[in-house]
Chain A
Amino acid sequence: MRWFWLTFFIVCPIAAVVFCVIAPGMDWWFPSEAGSPLGERIDSLFNLILYIVTGTFIGTQIALVYVLWKSSKKDDERAWFSHGSHNLEVIWTIVPAGILLFIALYQMDVWAEYRVVSKFPKEARKAPVAEVMARQFEWRIRYPEPGRILQIQQQPTDLYAVNELIVPAAKPVMIYLKTQDVQHSFFLPELRVKQDAVPGQIIPVWFEATEPGEYVLVCAELCGWGHYKMGARVVALAEEQFEAAMEELAEEQSDDGFADAGDSDDE
């Protein structure tokens, strides 16, 4: 029985490690490479912690099984009468404290860049691309008319869309995030962005999609029965295409459905 349980307590952690090692190959890992510069830094911080934690995990599990193995084979011998070791206590207080403090301090920069408005990239801060308003259970987008600056108050010339946020790729963009009803959370898994939309607040959020493409937007804060289906997409377009798309949206929304008699630009 002794060997059975010793094996049991060593096989389970090994299985856990193996499971994690094969995970990326099985596509059980991040949904994609981080699609944004800040996301890449978040991933590298994640990996740093992962290495430290994996080392600690393996170390403690081996230590645990080792002491179990050693202390389960005594027959007549008495257990070691010891109340502890002051030196060991000091070591295993100071070393983890140092590591933890290092992890904490090492994270500050990325956090500040992500959340402290004065540290946002200037170009993004100057011209927010859109206001994203969450509601049960969809995302409503409000853009300024091309050539104008987005205002906090709705403007008659604003453009609207639902569940599709178009942004220029390869440059930092900022949105205003708000909610019409309950709390939601703006989550772009591929870009590693998440920010709650809190009732009564307008929260600036910035991100940058390195490559043009479509990215998933989901809700990450319980917002009612339809929480799971609050999916949408962020479409990142190259600069010119983005402008064209905005023009097109403007035209579409100012079009009253009647062809203009004198003009024939709609062929």
Chain B
Amino acid sequence: MSVAHSVSHDAHGDAHGHGHEQSFISKYVFSTDHKVIGIQFLVTTLLMLMVGGALALGVRWQLAFPWESMPLVGRLLFSGEGGQISPEFYTMLFTMHATVMIFLVIIPILAGAFGNFLIPLMIGADDMAFPVLNMLSYWFMWPAIFCFFASFFSAGNGAAAGWTSYPVLSALPQAAPASGMAQNWWLVGVTLVGVSSMMGSVNYMTTIINMRAPGMTLFRMPLTIWAMFITAILQAFALPVLTAAGFMLVADRLLGTCFFIPAGLVVNNADPTVGGGQPLLWQHLFWFYSHPAVYIMLLPAMGMVSDMLANAARKPLFGYKPMVYSMAAIAGLGFIVWGHHMFTSGMNPALGMTFMTSTMMIALPSAIKTFNWIGTIWGGKIEFNTVTLNSVAFVSMFVVGGLSGIFMAAVPVDIYIHDTYFIVAHFHYVLFGATLFGLFGAIFFWYPKMFGRKMNEGLGKAHFFFTFLGANGTFFPMHLLGVAGMPRRYADPYLHPYLEHFLPMNQFMTYSAILMGCAQFLLLFNFAYSMFYGEKVGRNPWKANGLEWTAPSPPGHGNFDVLPVCYRGPYEYSSPLVEEDFLLQTEYLSPPDKAEPVKEPEHA
């Protein structure tokens, strides 16, 4: 087998495998190698995860100890207020928390880091279709990061209109005093991350369509690749809308257009606006992008968890095609559910009914996927390592996030829980509970391929244990706060008597959040430590089937020493055709096994 005899020349440097020497700069900084770019994305986004987490802890501090001066950093950050968080700063905190987490962590870590690293390896290509575009996609992140930070630190006050930036609050500088330039920086930053995503998106689509190894038919692609493919399509179709809307909002702010500003508003005692615009237009445009974006932030994790669960259970994925179709259904329906963010916005009530029905329907493919994940573990042979634990946590938490979504999808119930902590609970269960746990699993799973060493299991389990407890301790009580009617984005909810008695619960949540935040240092330490001291592993430490596991760990420039040929789907674990419990996609069997099992096997 190719694996066996190529291991020998694995040892002497894959970097030299392909002829020309590269300078340090072109190899590690402005690299066009998809693996280096993927790792650049991964390291950058992990650092941003810590930044976003720190901002979240600021929010939690205020909710647990309102107006008390913040320990350690308070004096440093807001000496003017005696170390207190001002209400203006509080709005900036949650705005930037969401911005950093969504635009600088979740989207780039899924598509940028794992999409980049995995796509060519899993489909058997030597690199992306457009390597230079790929490099630019990473380097366009930095101007975006610069813009967001410029926004946050610019004169006195940052962007403070929430990550949704609803006009008129975001359109008229006088609506949020001193947010003048900050909001512009923010909008430019969003546009730039959009450019970065779009560059990745066209690249992924082209690569997946054109550069698959011989024999890698569409229905032999791992679900990770399906997910990345569908995500890329979502981005390509949804992003231009956000970019256009962003430019319109910038024009409203700087050029005096009135796309989103109606006539006759008296904001902060300024002259009445001349207007003619409609703020609801922004909401439609924004959510037309941002609802598909929710799936951009989820589908790749779903794909990776499917791969990891099948591997962990040593069992073919349960219902491969239903899994693919349900992902496609989520993507398709994802374009016609944006109105469920606007049930209370005063749009035509008939739309409320329409969007409720489509939203209920989008819960269906998610349910199918959940059942199939449980089906994948069913009858498997599982071992509780870090990858398994994080993948199982993904399923467990996704169930919570999915089910709480049903409350919000039901319009009459949403009248009450809209914009309360219920929605905060819901999307944190999906984005933290599901996506991030999927990502933690994926980091552990593909780390050996990235660096040729395994991450430390003990540290990984400890990280999982504390993160899972911390996350549930932080996010589960939010459901109850929502039912109690606590609106989100309140700097001091206890001003209102009906919420006074929730202070202790909020304090508990803050302690949980601090635990969760501290636990992330275990991940960072493990990540850095294992790079040098982790257990060295060969090509296929998890005994997995995908093409990426036939390449050296880490793969050199050009990825494969032998051009892979694909003979079957990626989930033939425990196949009766072979003795081992895995069957590489590249392994040729004589006589050839059937390409796709046409009938479900008989079983007792």
B395 an interface residue at 8 Å Cβ cutoff? yes
CB < 8 Å A-B pair total: 332
Q: Which residues of A contact B (CB under 8 A)?
A: 1-2, 5, 8-9, 12-13, 15-16, 19-20, 23, 27-32, 39, 41-42, 45-46, 49-50, 52-53, 56-57, 60-61, 63-64, 67-68, 70-72, 74, 77-86, 88-89, 92-93, 96-97, 100-101, 103-104, 107-108, 110-112, 114-116, 135-136, 179-183, 185, 187, 189-190, 192-196, 198-201, 203, 216, 218-229, 231
Partner of A57 from the list B399, B407, B600 (CB cut-off 8 Å) is B399
| Stretch of B100-108, B113-121, B275-283, B295-303 that contacts chain A | B275-283
Query: Which of A29, A79, A199 has a CB less than 8 Å from the CB of B480?
Result: A29
Q: Report how far A31 CA is from B86 CA in the complex, Å.
A: 28
State which of A45, A79, A136, A228 has its C-beta within 8 Å of the C-beta of B87.
A228
Task: Please give the residue numbers on chain B whose beta carbons come within 8 Å of chain A beta carbons, in ascending order.
Answer: 86-88, 90-91, 160-162, 166-169, 172, 175-176, 261-268, 275, 277-280, 313-320, 322, 344-346, 349, 352-353, 356-357, 360-361, 363-364, 367-368, 370-372, 374-375, 377-384, 389, 392, 395-396, 399-400, 403-404, 406-407, 409-413, 415-416, 418-420, 465, 468-469, 472, 476-477, 479-480, 483-485, 487, 489-493, 495-498, 501-502, 505, 571, 573-576, 581, 597, 600-601, 603
| A181 to B265 CA separation, bound complex (whole angstroms) | 5
Q: Complex: how many Å from CA A50 to CA B395?
A: 20
CB-based contact A19/B498 at 8 Å: no
Q: Which residues of B contact A86 (CB under 8 A)?
A: 600
Bound complex: CA A225 to CA B86 (Å): 9
Contact A101 B360, beta carbon cutoff 8 Å:
yes
Contact (A79, B396) CB under 8 Å given A53-B403, A104-B357, A224-B175: no
Chain A residues positioned under 8 Å from B360 (CB to CB): 100-101, 103-104
Q: Given A136-B175, A218-B496, are A67 and B377 neighbors across the interface (CB < 8 Å)?
A: yes
Cβ-neighbour of A199 out of B91, B262, B356, B412 (below 8 A): B262
Return 5 A-B CB contacts under 8 Å, by A number: A19-B477, A82-B316, A107-B411, A199-B279, A226-B87
- Asked whether B392 lies within 8 Å of A9 as measured between CB atoms, the reply is yes
Q: Evaluate contact between B381 and A78: CB separation under 8 angstroms.
A: yes
Cα separation A107 to B161 with both chains bound (whole Å): 32
In contact, B412 and A221 (Cβ under 8 angstroms): no
Contact status A112-B384, CB under 8 Å: no
Given contacts A31-B498, A50-B407, A187-B487, 6 further A-B contacts (CB under 8 A): A16-B476, A78-B574, A80-B315, A88-B319, A100-B364, A198-B279
Q: B349, B410, B505: which contacts A49 (Cβ < 8 A)?
A: B410
Min Cβ gap A13→B in Å is 7
Assuming A45-B412, A114-B415, A222-B166, is B262 touching A200 (CB within 8 A)?
Answer: yes
Which residue of A71, A108, A198 is within 8 Å of B379 (Cβ)?
A71
